[in-house]
Each structure stands twice: as C-alpha cells, then as structure tokens.
C-alpha cells in the first residue's frame, strides 16, 4: 500500500492479539507473538480506524504518537459469511524518530 500521504496516529495502546480463548496468537510462519495496535489513518479524504498487526516484540509506541507502518499490507478476508480487511506491517516506527519511509507493498 502506498501510505506516503497518510498520517497514522496511535489511538489505543498496543495489545496482544488473542484467539477466542484469550491466548496470544503467533505468526504461523515464524512462531513470533502477534500484537494489535489501533491507529487512525488520516488523509485528504478523511479518517479511518485501523487495527494493524505486527509480529515479534511489541511496538514501542504510545497513544497519541504519529507512527509509520513499515511494509503495510491490506489483506482481504472472509469467514462464516463475514468479510473485511486485515492490516499487517513489519513494524510500527515513531514518525520523525529515524523512522523509515513507508513502502508500497
């Protein structure tokens, strides 16, 4: 995704991504723990709330901070008659703190 014109602001503290039993989920390829971070994505057309999943160590970001999702992917899903889009990134870096520029995926 090209996110070069989008401002991402953390709106909810980082939390473990859990299954229906409350157990933390792990990446199916690496086995690393998964984390969910809620952000507001704001561009010239308006804002939208997204939950971005990352694997490994929890992102070191706080509510209110602007962040840069690295290699953000939008992944469509459909389960039991429901559907939506999941968002996954390699990492969430604090904007302006040596954060790498967003990449198109």
Q: Which domain holds residue 41?
A: 7-94
pLDDT at 71: 95
Residue 21 in domain: yes
Residue 56 in domain: yes
- Please name the residues in contact with 92: beta carbons below 8 A apart, sequence gap of 6 or more: 8, 10, 37, 39, 52, 54, 59, 61, 67, 68, 69, 70
In angstroms, the CA 17 to CA 104 distance is: 25
- Give the CATH number of the domain where residue 48 resides: 2.40.50
Residue 33 in domain: yes
Q: pTM (2 decimals)?
A: 0.86
Residue 45 in domain: yes
Digitized pLDDT (tens) for each residue of the chain, 105 residues in all? 678 899 999 999 999 999 999 999 999 999 999 999 999 999 999 999 999 999 999 999 999 999 999 999 999 999 999 999 999 999 999 998 654 444 444
Residue 100 in domain: no
Residue 26 in domain: yes
Number of folded domains that form the chain:
1
Residue 58 in domain: yes
């Amino acid at each position: 995704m090209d996110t070069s014109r989008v401002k991402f602001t953390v709106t909810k503290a980082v939390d473990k991504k859990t299954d229906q039993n409350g157990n933390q989920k792990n990446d199916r390829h690496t086995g690393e723990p998964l984390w969910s971070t809620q952000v507001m994505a704001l561009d010239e057309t308006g804002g939208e709330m997204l939950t971005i999943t990352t694997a490994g160590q929890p992102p070191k970001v706080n509510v209110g901070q602007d962040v840069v999702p690295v290699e953000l992917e939008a992944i469509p899903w459909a389960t039991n008659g429901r559907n939506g889009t999941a968002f996954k990134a390699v990492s969430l870096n604090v904007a302006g703190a040596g954060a790498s520029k967003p990449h198109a995926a």
